Structure 1
């Protein structure tokens, strides 16, 4: 009787070990597949991040902040961020009553005001203006003087037409 109990116990333990061995193998294959899937996703995301970094660098190419030659024009002035200073001075032109004096159009829905500003270098600015419904762009020449005054001159302009 004792030997039969040991035989059944041995068979039962053997079946449990076989089950654990097969189950562990399947779990290992599933985890390996998941790890390789995640590794490929990480590689794909790293490539996308690299592409986005290149796009950002390309967009920043025409920018005063990244143009050392243009920034050299402001070395004699004690300025931390000349681009922000110039943009602020340009935005002050919006404070005038009516249309912005740099925009050569009359507002149709309301007054044309400058919205977005991109300081390209030490001489040019690209801006976007709008009256809420109609919009356009300006190419502005500027000169930052030693007394920290800024003169703005509109070089070219563009007003987009709406097509219904």
Structure 2
């Protein structure tokens, strides 16, 4: 009789313990699935935002790439060369930057920081002297000697906020 009662209690204990473990696992799995679904939605939203932000970028502009390729240029070499040409303008002597129409207000050199090539004709870049910031809008072309020529179209400097 004692053996029967002990066995029954042991079986009940095992059943309750197993049920609690299974319930905890189901709760963890449901929580994990909800987290995965939420993160999937966040990833999709970020991918959409990234696509929208990179819309005006030569890397996503197949017409601009086709334009260069029809001219016989290798875009894998040309696009970095366009950026490199602007960054090389940061190495200048004197106070006047070759393309930025402002003079540094802090005594340091003005430098171009970030460049975005929009298409086969336009570039947007920002510049700074470390304290003041601005942006320039340029056009560029490749002349008959295969040299890049930049032309400043529009520019501005942000006012310093105190």
TM-score, length-scaled by structure 1: 0.91
1:66 paired to 2:60 = yes
Give the deviation of 1:77 after TM superposition. 1.7
Bigger Rg, which one: 1
- The residue number in structure 2 matching 1:3 is none
Secondary structure at the counterpart of residue 80 of structure 1: helix
CA contact (8 A) 1:100 1:114 kept: no
Q: Corresponding residue for 1:151?
A: 149
Q: In structure 1, the residue corresponding to 2:145 is in which secondary structure?
A: coil
**Mapping of residues 89-108 of structure 1, within 5 Å:** 89-98=85-94, 99-108=96-105
Aligned positions, number: 158
Match of 1:88 in 2: 84
Alignment partner of 2:90: what SS?
helix
Cα distance in structure 2, aligned partners of 1:92 and 1:23: 71
Q: 2:145, 2:76 → 1: CA distance?
A: 16
Superposition deviation, residue 150 in structure 1: 0.6
Q: How many angstroms does 1:22 deviate by?
A: 1.1
After TM superposition, give the deviation of residue 146 of structure 1 in Å.
4.8
Normalization by structure 2: what TM-score?
A: 0.92
Structure 2 residue corresponding to 1:52, chosen from 3, 25, 46: 46
> How big is each residue's C-alpha offset from its partner over 1:104-134, in whole Å with a ceiling of 9 and x where there is no partner?
1110111211110000001110001000110
Q: 2:36 aligns with which of 33, 36, 42?
A: 42
Tell me, what secondary structure is at the counterpart of 2:76? coil
Residue ranges of structure 2 left out of the alignment (5+ in a row): none
Deviations 1:12-70 (A, max 9, x none): 11101101101111211111111111100000000101111111111111011111111
